[in-house]
Amino acid sequence: MLSGDVEAFAVLVARYRDRYARYAYHMLGNREDAEEALQDAFTRAYRSLARCEDPDRFAAWLFRILINRCRTTGARRGRRARTFVVDEGAVLAAAEEHPAERAAWREEIGRALAQLRPDQREAFLMKYVEEMGYDEMSRSTGVGVSALKMRVMRACERLRGMLTEVQNA
Amino acid sequence: MPEHDDEIIEQVADELRGPVPLSASFDARVMRAVRRFPRHSRHSRGAVWSRLTAPRAIVVRPLSAGLLAACVLALAGLGLVQAAKMVRAAAKPAVGGVFARTAKPAATQRVQFVLVAPDAKKVAVVGDFNGWDASHAAYQAKHRGGGVWSVTAPVPVGHHRYSFVVDDTVWMADPTAPRASDNDFGLPNSAIVVEADK
């Protein structure tokens, strides 16, 4: 591989980092872990590029790697301590209008997400944030469609319960 | 469960769909990590990377006014008004053609890249000739007025793929050049052939 090809990979990093940073951040709850998982996903993708069976599906393949890295990172963090760290930079970046209310609401959403079971959080983020269909989710996770629908339903129930309390407080 | 009629869930989803900023050093860290791995073999059987990076046998004749006019008509016919504006502007003599050469024979030629991007703050050219490096100083386009950006930079003789990167984020094929039939992860690339002087 020519050195130029290594640099070409930088283009792929630039193209996909923002899209997948969002998933990793919401899955793991803080930027440090999200960047670690995302960096790990990119380096593993690079190292295993020959195993990418369909280059046209690179994005989906990379996402599958990231899902696994988030699962691993989340499990490791879970053994250390199950905490949710509010990323003030992300909160402020999203809080241009009505900053106090918006930041508080975003923080509550983060806390509620962190209280979901990881498999439910994963399914919820794919369905509602990444806006994936159940078949695509199934291919990405290796989990059956019925089980995924159940996870999404449970996640919605829990989020609705926790956030309705916040809104009514 | 009413998946799409749930106001709270939709509010949550809307909030979470916003961008999440990464550290400024993120890309550099990834690339440092990548460079530590052994290089992929371009010739190894089944290597996807070689499929993605191998030069393509694309024959492109030097652009002429006729080709540009055909592009304009084709694009206009497709309703791509903005793209057609770019082609027309790119064809103006004030900014030259898509590429131009010096008279001096050389292994590289000076190629002029032109893009009309009225809303852009920054335009760079990336290609296999500069390692797809959007920060390469020699390939930063300058705003020439009227939304026209151009840069004249050295490109080795031969077949190349390239693209414009607008504002460091938007990957845009050259609307005045043939598209490379890329399977390069969906990135739009254009094709040029730089010929040696005869």
CATH number at residue A25: 1.10.1740.10
> Is residue A130 over pLDDT 90?
yes
Residues from chain B contacting residue A164 (CB–CB below 8 Å): 8
Structural domain including A65 reads 1-85
What is the pLDDT, as a whole number, of residue A5?
65
Tell me the percentage of chain B whose pLDDT exceeds 90: 11
Q: Are B161 and B144 in contact (CB under 8 A)?
A: no
Q: Which of B8, B17, B171 sits opposite A164 (nearest CB)?
A: B8
Judging contacts by C-beta atoms under 8 Å, the chain B residues touching residue A46 are: 34, 37
pLDDT above 50 (res B54): no
A80 and A2 both lie in a single domain = yes
Tell me the residue range of the domain where B19 lies.
Answer: 7-53
- Please state, as a whole number, how many other Cβ atoms lie within 10 Å of the Cβ of residue B190: 24
Contacts of A113 in chain B (CB under 8 A): 16
**Are B139 and B45 in a shared domain?**
no
- Range picked from A136-145, B71-80, B83-92, B133-142 for highest mean pLDDT: A136-145
In this structure, the answer to whether residues B16 and B91 fall within a common structural domain is: no
Same domain, B34 and B126: no
Query: Is A81 in the same domain as A8?
Result: yes
Same domain, yes or no, for A1 and A42?
A: yes
In a domain, B148, yes or no: yes
Asked if residue B111 lies in contact with residue B100, where contact means CB atoms within 8 angstroms, the answer is yes
Token duo for residue B179: 């598209």
* pLDDT at res. B50: 47
**Strand ranges, E, within chain A:** none
Based on the fold, state whether residues A81 and A120 are members of the same structural domain: no
The count of other CB atoms within 10 Å of the CB of residue B93 is 6
Q: Of all residues in chain A, what percent carry a pLDDT higher than 70?
A: 81
Same domain, A5 and A75: yes
Which tokens hold the place of A61? 């393949």
A42 CB-near residues (< 8 Å, 6+ apart): A12, A13, A17, A62, B30, B33, B34
Tell me the chain B residues in contact with residue A13 when contact means C-beta distances shorter than 8 Å.
27, 30-31
| Amino acid letter, A163 | L
Residues in chain B: 198
Residue of B6, B15, B21 with shortest CB distance to A160: B6
Rounded to the nearest 5 degrees, what angle is found at the Cα of B23, between the Cα atoms of B30 and A13?
35
Query: Is the same domain home to B129 and B180?
Result: yes
Average the pLDDT over each of A10-14, A137-141, B57-61 and give the range with the smallest value.
Answer: B57-61
pLDDT of A102:
76
Query: What is the reported pLDDT for A90?
Result: 53
Residue B46 confidence class, pLDDT cut points 50, 70, 90 = very low
Do the domain assignments include residue B2? no
% of chain B with per-residue pLDDT over 70: 58
Total structural domains within chain A: 2
Longest distance between any two alpha carbons in chain A, whole Å = 60
Q: With respect to residue B1, please indicate whether it lies within any of the assigned structural domains.
A: no
Indicate whether A127 belongs to any domain: yes
The residues, ordered by sequence, that sit 6+ positions from A63 with a Cβ below 8 Å of its Cβ are: A20, A23, A140
Per-residue pLDDT reduced to its tens digit, B130-151 = 877 788 889 999 988 878 888 9
Distance from CA of B19 to the nearest CA of A (A): 6
Highest mean pLDDT among A77-86, B53-62, B68-77: A77-86
- Separation CA A115–CA B6 (nearest Å): 20
- The pLDDT, as a whole number, for residue A24 is 95
d(CA B157, nearest CA chain A) in Å: 17
> Would you say residue B12 lies in a domain?
yes
Between B97 and A157, where is the model more confident?
A157
What is the total count of domains within chain B? 2
Contact state of B40 with A50 under an 8 Å Cβ cutoff: yes
Same-domain check for residues B80 and B168: yes
Question: Could you report the per-residue pLDDT of B85-119, keeping only the tens digit for each?
Answer: 433 333 333 223 334 344 444 588 888 888 888 88
